[in-house]
Structure 1
Amino acid sequence: MGRRYPHLSLEERRKIAKWRDANILVPEIADRLGRAPSTIYRELKRNFYDDKELPELNGYYALNAQDMYEKRRALHRKMIMHPELKTAIEDRLKAGWSPEQIAGRMRLERHPIRVSHETIYRFAYSKDGRAEQFYRHLPEHRRRRRPRGHRRHNRTHIFDAQSLSHRPERIAERAEFGHWECDLMMFRKEHGKINVTSLVERVSRYAVVMRNEDRQSKPIMEALIRGLAPLPAGARQSITFDRGTEFSAWRRLKAGIGADAWFCDPQAPYQKGTVENTNNRLRKYLPRSTEPTALTNRYLRSICQRLNSTPRKCLGYHTPAEVFESKLMEIRNRLE
């Protein structure tokens, strides 16, 4: 078993303070306590009392050092001291918000008591958080924090398509509203051919989800046309796809709603990262094990409503619904 390095106790801090007053050198203090000299140097540096107004009081004091240590260790204690805060955070997590979204929205709304996303994570993985399995409410539901893996994509070619490299810069830089990204979400083969179209507007991150009975391209394009037709023309200018054969009937979009179609390079779905990111969020509600025949339009709309009412960091912690409605109002005002 590896050697453990427990934190300094109050009694040890009292000895450090007494021996420092006696001008005993740090290496000897470390030897007396059975600690590494670096531990003592770090302790003296981190918990040194510094009074700007009365510098003659500067120094290392055991009780003050212990208090500074406990405050640093108890960043997540705010969620323990304020049960109503923890309950509110837990409710948001259950609604699909991430810790970063919760913390950002608190800052935007100027809550009198608020926490950082790191505090939420620290609480979830602290002794108290683990005791109540708080980590189960986090987006990834993992016992430990770890980097995400990468999905593999196998896509075929679509010929005569407009390459993303020719897409105007204003679209690539999200400087213009009304440009969407589209993808299909598949389920396990034993559940049949039913799938879900995920559609996301690039500026507002507003999501729309639709059920498809199979992967035939014409019905998928017709569904896109029906879904976007009620919007003003300025809100449905183009859609970006990958090179899957389910999008081969892309020419119907121009005839149906006047929307252009852009295509990622072969084997490069990351070029439509907005919808890929949205798919990751949707998988919380639509895992691959989902029985797609049970998916109703009402349920899919409820998922979209939840995503679109969740604040996003990239939107200054406004929600996609708020930004989308604001952009629609701008278009309508220009038309009047």
Structure 2
Amino acid sequence: MGRCYPHLNLEERRKLAKWLDAKIPIKEIADNLARAPSTIYREIRRNFYHDEELPELNGYHAVNAQDQYEKRRAVHRKLIRHPELMAAVLDGFDAGWSPEQIAGRMKLERHPTRVSHETIYRYAYSKDGRAEKFYRHLPEHRRRRRPRGTRKHHGRRFLDELAIAHRPDMVADRNQFGHWECDLVMFRKEFGKANVTSLVERVSRYAVVLKNPDRQSKPVMESLIESLSPLPANARRSITFDRGTEFTAWQYLKAGLGVDSWFCDPQSPWQKGTVENTNNRLRRYLPRKADPTAFTNRYLGSICDRLNATPRKCLGYQTPSEVFRAKLMEGEP
């Protein structure tokens, strides 16, 4: 089967209008745009501007052609043509579902009219969707969509045998001391790529906070090695991460510290709920609007001291510091 017809973009339409005004032959224009002549003829026929009152304005105008193209596309969008479908999509967002989950559920329930997740994304980043700020409903709240061909998939960087499903039960059940969870605390883009590593031990809820200048994986791992290396081996057995690019240098961590690494399933941060809960507590002292480059090690240390000295119900109202110290003293094998 042949490829689907690729519509011209605004830049191509601007060039077309300029060359038409210069009386350049259609075949030459098609060659310049690396398009078929039939594509150029079709474009002119579809988007030619006619003005009965002022015929001198008749012609092919790039911006007008782009507007006509976008209007035709909008007329055929399911989410515009079917308000009940839009309502169902919004109900899914209200329930915390992703576009893929919404579309999948519609298919499972055999809705008479349904959409694919790609249709939902396309609407979100269309002219109408941007006007409504529809992107706010999406999981990552991106104002602009990355081109599909440039999206990066990092799952292959994490071995299947290191998936959280293979993590020993004694880790999952918190029956053994020395297993940690790790995440990055991010801040507003205007402050650059600086961030903070949050690290928490699963049994004691003991937290460590570290400053990072950016999200490069190897420096993040070096910071973890430096922080955990003074501890005895029984206090640093494993770390559970999500699948962010900042954790792809896990082999460097293994070589430098001998610590096992486990990775959550894709898009499943809830599987490391201990550090997610710790991040929520940290936000009281490290709000997203704060400038992370201004944080000193002393300030971050004071935050850790406060968190680790706070009684926790899950610890029988002992503090994380007390439990952590007791576990160290036990010298659990």
RCO (CA 8 Å, sep 6+): is it higher in 1 or 2? 1
Query: Is residue 2:270 matched to residue 1:270?
Result: yes
Query: Is residue 2:238 matched to residue 1:238?
Result: yes
Q: Which amino acid aligns with 2:279?
A: N
Shift of 1:156: 5.4
Equivalent-residue separation in structure 1 for 2:220 and 2:213 (angstroms): 9
Aligned to 2:177: 177
Please, what is the CA RMSD of the aligned residues?
1.9
Q: 1:258 to 1:280 in 2, by over 3 A?
A: same
- The percent of aligned pairs where both chains have the same amino acid is 70
CA contact (8 A) 1:217 1:246 kept: yes
CA contact (8 A) 1:156 1:243 kept: no
Shift of 1:151: 11
Equivalent-residue separation in structure 2 for 1:256 and 1:288 (angstroms): 32
**Residues 149-196 of structure 1 deviation map (CA, whole Å, 9 limit, x = unaligned):** x99569953323310000000000000000000000010000111100
Equivalent-residue separation in structure 1 for 2:138 and 2:327 (angstroms): 33
Q: Which amino acid aligns with 1:285?
A: Y
Aligned to 1:158: 155
**1:288 alignment partner, SS class:** coil
CA contact (8 A) 1:195 1:292 kept: yes
**Residues 31-65 of structure 1 deviation map (CA, whole Å, 9 limit, x = unaligned):** xxxxxxxxxxxxxxxxxxxxxxxxxxxxxxxxxxx
Which consecutive residues of structure 2, in runs of 5 or more, have no partner in the other structure?
1-136, 142-151
Runs of 4+ in 1 over 2 A off after TM superposition: 150-161
Equivalent-residue separation in structure 2 for 1:311 and 1:328 (angstroms): 19
Q: 1:274 to 1:153 in 2, by over 3 A?
A: farther
Alignment map for 1:193-272 (pairs within 5 Å): 193-272=193-272
Equivalent-residue separation in structure 2 for 1:156 and 1:180 (angstroms): 25
**1:224 alignment partner, SS class:** helix
Query: Is residue 2:322 matched to residue 1:325?
Result: no
Shift of 1:252: 1.1
Aligned to 1:67: none
CA contact (8 A) 1:153 1:269 kept: no
Q: Which amino acid aligns with 1:276?
A: E
Q: 1:289 to 1:241 in 2, by over 3 A?
A: same
Query: Is residue 2:189 matched to residue 1:192?
Result: no
CA contact (8 A) 1:158 1:248 kept: no
